[in-house]
Amino acid sequence: MARLFGTDGVRGLANADLSPELALSLAVAAAHTLPDSDREQPPLVVVGRDPRASGEMLEAAVVAGLASAGANVVRVGVLPTPGVAYLTAEVRADFGVMISASHNPMPDNGIKFFAAGGHKLTDEQEDAIEAALGATWTRPTGAQVGRVHDLLDGAEHYTTHLVQATGHPLAGLKVVVDCAHGAASDVAPEAFREAGAEVIAINAEPDGLNINDECGATHLGPLKAAVVEHGAHLGIAVDGDADRCLAVDASGAEVDGDQIMAILALAMRDAGALANDTLVATVMSNLGLRIAMREAGITLVETKVGDRYVLEELRAGGFSLGGEQSGHVVFTEHATTGDGVLTGLRLLARVAQTGKPLAELAAVVNRLPQVLINVRVADKAVARAPEILAAVAAAEAQLHGSGRVLLRPSGTEQLVRVMVEAASEDIAQKIAEDIAADVRAASPAV
């Protein structure tokens, strides 16, 4: 049977793959497995959601499941995923629940859990929840049934935390903030204003149906146009649950997660706040980031793709900064998960502190052309076949250290992803197509 949990919780088409019945069952199973078994008080659980319409239905199911299992629930309403993680730690809850499908389109939704302290679950904790689904249990009655309360000032607490973590006042900067009609539509503009910036908010009117709809971190076109139109110093875009952030400079040019991480790593190193002078990133980060960090004397530690693996490495190594090319950035001093609003605030703080435009700061990373081809295969193990490994080795020898080749089986689809970086787009494209053809021939899709 396929594992229910994916790389970021349980996700699917709302009211189909992800039904209220499943949401309720997941909540009950989490209430039975995540709190310490020897605790004397009823578990306390924080529950938040993004504004997609199905979130109302799924929140009701989750809250009902938790209360029926004897857990007390604190509802925080519509808040970014990192806001729910922050409040889970702040109120010392046993765990937290976020109902969101992040950057996915509106019809999808998801349920992700945070352990005590606001940390993502381990594989073992997720497996325990799955194993508890449908298990026989004794229902509490009377005074033992859980109670439900609303935390009306949760957004204010989270916003205050963001502003305090910004690090430098943003006075004199004009910023366009694209909220993706998502969970940060209120919090993000307010946090930037309180930190001192002049703010133009766009796509900040969620109606339950328009989240991520041609806007936000997955569609930068509206942000690029607005920055140029308003003559802003830069623009910031988050996704539907605001756990990731991308930027554009004053000309409307994109600044990706690798460039953002480089800017922030240098800022933290200069402030003596970059633990062990180390940045954690995934294997998908551009070679240009690796070169920039090496030249700056900063160690780059690589992980598998997925912010959970970045988080695991940050905690294991005691590091303070890590993230992904897609814009998930984690500051362990201030957050337990990727926080798009905090990332944007810290990026603006570096611009304000240095007096340099974002384009100049981002130029520290010379991004090599990167080509990605997805190859549908019968067996994803072909990525490790001797003849494919030999083809990759030959291609890397051809690049003479000026690029790299990465083959990665997809975690969710019957695909092998072929990624090539090279000094020119043409070279990268040619090598990627040749290796993709070898993979396709070695394991043709059925």
Q: How far is CA 363 from CA 49, 255, 442, 444, in A?
A: 37, 9, 40, 41
The C-alpha atoms of residue 234 and residue 137 are separated, in whole angstroms, by 54
How many Cβ atoms sit within 10 Å of the Cβ of residue 191?
Answer: 26
- Residue 370 has what pLDDT? 87
**CB of 368 closer than 8 Å to CB of 286:** yes
Residue 10 β-bridge partners = 111
- Residue 412 has what pLDDT? 64
For the chain, state the CA radius of gyration.
22
Instruction: Output the six-digit token pair for 145.
Output: 């049934």
List of residues 6+ apart from 19 with CB closer than 8 A: none
The C-alpha atoms of residue 88 and residue 270 are separated, in whole angstroms, by 32
How many Cβ atoms sit within 10 Å of the Cβ of residue 432?
Answer: 22
The C-alpha atoms of residue 196 and residue 202 are separated, in whole angstroms, by 18
String of DSSP letters for 198-232: EEEEES----SS-TTSS-GGG--HHHHHHHHHHT-
Contacts 24+ apart (CB under 8 A), 149-154: 149/72, 149/73, 149/74, 149/75, 150/74, 150/75, 150/76, 150/77, 151/46, 151/74, 151/75, 151/76, 151/87, 151/91, 154/48, 154/76, 154/77, 154/79, 154/83, 154/87
- Residue 413 has what pLDDT? 75
Catalytic annotation, residues: 102
The C-alpha atoms of residue 107 and residue 317 are separated, in whole angstroms, by 38
Report residues of the chain scoring pLDDT below 70: 1, 411-412
User: What letter does residue 299 receive in the DSSP assignment?
Assistant: E
Cα-based angle 342, 347, 351 (whole degrees, multiple of 5): 145
60 phi, psi to nearest 5 deg:
-60, -40
**pTM of the prediction?**
0.91
- Residue 134 has what pLDDT? 87
String of DSSP letters for 61-120: HHHHHHHHTT-EEEEEEE--HHHHHHHHHHTT-SEEEEE--TTS-TTEEEEEEEETTSPB
The C-alpha atoms of residue 368 and residue 172 are separated, in whole angstroms, by 33
The C-alpha atoms of residue 191 and residue 183 are separated, in whole angstroms, by 13
Reduced to 3 states, what is the DSSP secondary structure of residue 416?
A: strand
**CB of 71 closer than 8 Å to CB of 43:** yes
**CB of 301 closer than 8 Å to CB of 278:** yes
Name the CA dihedral angle for 326, 332, 336, 337, rounded to a multiple of 10 degrees.
0
**CB of 236 closer than 8 Å to CB of 162:** no
